[in-house]
Amino acid sequence: METSMPLAENLKNKQQRRVKILATLGPASDSPEMIEKLFLAGANAFRINMSHGEQADKAALVTHIRALERKYAMPTTILVDLQGPKLRIGKFAGGKVMLETGAAFTLDQLEDDGNASRVRLPHQEIFDALEPQTRLLLDDGKLVLRVQSVTSDKIETIVEVGGPLSDRKGLNVPDVVIPVAALTAKDRSDLAFAVEQGVDWIAMSFVQRPEDVAEGRKLIGGKAALLAKIEKPAAIQRLDEILELADAVMVARGDLGVELPPEQVPPLQKQIVSAARRLGRPVVVATQMLESMITSPSPTRAEVSDVATAIYDGADAIMLSAETAAGAWPEEAVSIMDRIAKQVESDPDYYSRVHFTKINADETTADALALSSAQIVKTVDTNAIVCFTSSGSTARRISRERPEVPILVLTPHIDTARRLGLLWGSLSVRTRDIGSFEEMVAKGKRMAMRHHYGQAGGRLIMLAGVPFGTPGSTNVLHVVRLTGDELKGF
């Protein structure tokens, strides 16, 4: 299907943007028509949240996205977000109570409905792990309890911050590592479903230890990439170990802001982004980015500044949650985020700011060439870096350097092209593999011109590996000049 000129221009502009936009699908955006609108407004990837709905509904979303991918011949990324272990209290007689500040409140394992002085907590692992003076947070941190004493079946607390509390509200335990499995039975079922559907990324919620990531990787079996959501203080303490095992991370500011004082979240966001960039792992900044757009057609100035900060920090992707899943203005939320990103990236100081993280290349040929390509861009007027890759590792190395020109990634593997949809500065194109140096140069030139990444007289930097088609063999850097004749005959 041919697209109109304005539509083609819209997609061209989307390809030029460095930071990626990850849009969550939900009741406000689960139709093929709305998914297409989000795609055309600027969404590079779609998040499917397994915390709500049935697997059959999620399978329909995958079908819609893959149809969109075929229509526009653009690899499109699908991320499935697992619910993770949810700690919840039991029910109350009457459904709701008021906890008064300073009052005593008990969590126990009795089957009876709760009241203003006690409620059931059906999680033995919490009783086993708690110590006196640790905090318990209820209802996303709205209520705070301080533990006074703990036995095998009773937790005595004092209410430090009171308020209304209703049935089955969530419980957070920020001060200790709770020995709960990162993957529940539901998560395992949803993970198997996601792999069967051929999604590109699987996000693990409430990761606390590197062992959690290792378990997820084993179950995925290499059939998708793994993103670890950093939303627990325990994960911050072992961040580098988690990053070593994960393919990407997410700064999940919602739960971080529940378990930590809110003033600690901004510096932690910078710490996580910086650590991920040093190791060459894509990093997503998420939660409440344009929160007011759930009900309003325009964001607050503070929200715009928040999105801009994440982009200046060099995040690979920025995520919309309820704004697109359940909000009244999903298409507008993506469009505004796209406009914010383009404005930030047009700032003359953008690249000096985005390099606040010092990146040390590993002692490998591939890393040396990736670093060199970014340095050449600063010295020689260059249109783009063209990267031939099988696994995507060369593209990730180049992206880590945050070069000042786009990265055109050419790969014969559709799964590689899709997974790179969260990678800063890149456009992935599936194309037949190359077999010679001459073919590399010709194809690189042709694809750059076709995707608006080059112009007559401009230069391209090309990276590939010899022998061609061998994963992990990047050892060639070549600079070529475009003549303008590259598309003749095509």
Residue 403 has pLDDT above 60, yes or no: yes
Query: What's the mean pLDDT in 275-294?
Result: 96
Q: Are 356 and 313 in contact (CB under 8 A)?
A: yes
Looking at the chain, the domain(s) classified CATH 3.40.1380.20 span 365-481
Rounded alpha-carbon distances, angstroms, from residue 59 to 56, 71, 179, 199, 436: 5, 19, 32, 10, 41
Single pTM value for the model: 0.91
Q: Which residues pair with 149 in a beta bridge?
A: 156
Query: Could you tell me what percent of the chain has a pLDDT over 90?
Result: 83
pLDDT computed for residue 1 by the predictor: 34
Q: How confident is the model at residue 7 (pLDDT cuts 50, 70, 90)?
A: low
Rounded alpha-carbon distances, angstroms, from residue 283 to 74, 313, 335: 22, 11, 21
Residue 10 has pLDDT above 70, yes or no: no
Assign domain 96-172 one CATH number from 1.10.10.10, 3.30.70.1150, 3.30.465.10, 2.40.33.10: 2.40.33.10
Q: Are 71 and 39 in contact (CB under 8 A)?
A: no
Q: How confident is the model at residue 9 (pLDDT cuts 50, 70, 90)?
A: low
Q: Which of the pair, 488 or 483, is modelled with greater confidence?
A: 483
Sequence-ordered list of residues with C-beta below 8 angstroms from that of 240, at least 6 positions apart, any chain: 275, 279
Looking at the chain, the domain(s) classified CATH 2.40.33.10 span 96-172
pLDDT computed for residue 359 by the predictor: 83
Query: What's the mean pLDDT in 320-347?
Result: 97
Residue 472 has pLDDT above 80, yes or no: no
pLDDT computed for residue 2 by the predictor: 34
Residue 148 has pLDDT above 90, yes or no: yes
Model confidence over 192-212: pLDDT tens digits?
999 999 999 999 999 999 999
Residue 248 has pLDDT above 70, yes or no: yes
Q: What is the DSSP letter of 27?
A: T
Query: Could you tell me what percent of the chain has a pLDDT over 70?
Result: 96
Sequence-ordered list of residues with C-beta below 8 angstroms from that of 264, at least 6 positions apart, any chain: none
Q: How confident is the model at residue 164 (pLDDT cuts 50, 70, 90)?
A: very high
Q: d(Cα 195, Cα 335) in Å, to the nearest integer?
A: 31
**What positions carry a catalytic annotation?**
47, 88, 229, 287
Q: What is the CATH number of domain 5-85+182-349?
A: 3.20.20.60
Q: How confident is the model at residue 6 (pLDDT cuts 50, 70, 90)?
A: very low
pLDDT computed for residue 3 by the predictor: 37
pLDDT computed for residue 288 by the predictor: 93
Q: Which of the pair, 483 or 146, is modelled with greater confidence?
A: 146
Residue 88 has pLDDT above 60, yes or no: yes
Residue 14 has pLDDT above 90, yes or no: no
Q: Is 172 helix (H, G, I), strand (E, B) or coil?
A: strand
Q: d(Cα 140, Cα 454) in Å, to the nearest integer?
A: 49
Fold (CATH) for 365-481: Pyruvate Kinase; Chain: A, domain 1 (3.40.1380)
Q: How confident is the model at residue 182 (pLDDT cuts 50, 70, 90)?
A: confident
User: What's the mean pLDDT when you consider all of the chain?
Assistant: 93
Query: What's the mean pLDDT in 53-74?
Result: 96
Please state the φ and ψ torsions of residue 96, each to the nearest 5 degrees. Answer: -160, 145
Q: Rounded to the nearest 10 degrees, what angle do helices 55-72 and 185-197 cross at?
A: 30
